[in-house]
């Protein structure tokens, strides 16, 4: 009888780009993985990264995760993950595992959830080599509404995407 190497979900994202960015980093570290779409109605996360169970220990070492934000709610953590991904920084959203919920079988790679007054809290972590880039991105001032409006008015409509 041949041994079967099962896969486990190691990360969940509400943002497909954030999932793809982390999966790309994981693959470049030599650990095969897949991004699958699997909607979690409890946590509202659709994009999961699956890794062979036998490679999870190796993956933890390859990632060398460092937290950049802690004690976040789900929405803030996933918005931050999307922002980092758009700046080319892979990240991991940890926490939010509700005992007895669908995600109970997920294998955490880094920080797990802390219980807070309003429920589970999330942590966003990045591989150590991306720590400076992540902090630079997260500490950059957001564009003001006035500047955003000026930028929108200056940009011509896309002829391929009519209103």
Question: Would you give the end-to-end CA distance of the chain in angstroms?
Answer: 60
- The tens digit of pLDDT for each residue in 28-37 reads 999 999 999 8
Residue 120: beta bridge partners? 115
Cβ pair 17, 48 in contact under 8 A: no
- The pLDDT assigned to 112 comes to 47
Distance (Å, whole) CA 77 – CA 62: 22
- Residue 93 CA, chain-centre distance (Å), reads 5
What's the pLDDT band for 46 if we cut at 50, 70, 90? confident
- The tens digit of pLDDT for each residue in 52-73 reads 989 999 999 999 999 999 989 9
Determine what percent of the chain is predicted with pLDDT higher than 70: 79
Burial of 23 (0-12, 13-18, 19+ CB in 10 A): buried
pTM: 0.75
Distance (Å, whole) CA 63 – CA 28: 11
User: What would the mean pLDDT of 15-42 be, rounded to a whole number?
Assistant: 90
- The tens digit of pLDDT for each residue in 102-136 reads 444 466 676 544 444 445 788 999 999 999 999 99
Distance (Å, whole) CA 71 – CA 98: 15
């Amino acid at each position: 009888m041949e041994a079967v190497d099962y896969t486990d979900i190691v990360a969940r994202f509400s943002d497909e780009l954030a999932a793809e960015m982390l999966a790309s980093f994981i693959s470049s570290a030599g650990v095969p993985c897949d991004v699958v779409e699997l909607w979690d109605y409890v946590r509202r996360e659709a994009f999961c990264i699956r890794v062979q169970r036998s490679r999870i220990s190796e993956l933890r070492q390859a990632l060398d995760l460092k937290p950049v934000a802690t004690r976040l709610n789900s929405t803030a953590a996933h918005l931050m993950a999307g922002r980092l991904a758009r700046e080319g920084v892979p990240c991991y959203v940890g926490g939010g595992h509700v005992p007895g919920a669908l995600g109970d079988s997920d294998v955490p790679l880094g920080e797990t959830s802390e219980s807070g007054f309003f429920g589970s809290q999330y942590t966003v972590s990045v591989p150590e080599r991306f720590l400076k880039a992540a902090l630079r991105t997260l500490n950059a001032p957001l564009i003001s509404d006035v500047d955003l409006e000026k930028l929108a008015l200056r940009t011509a409509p896309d002829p391929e995407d009519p209103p």
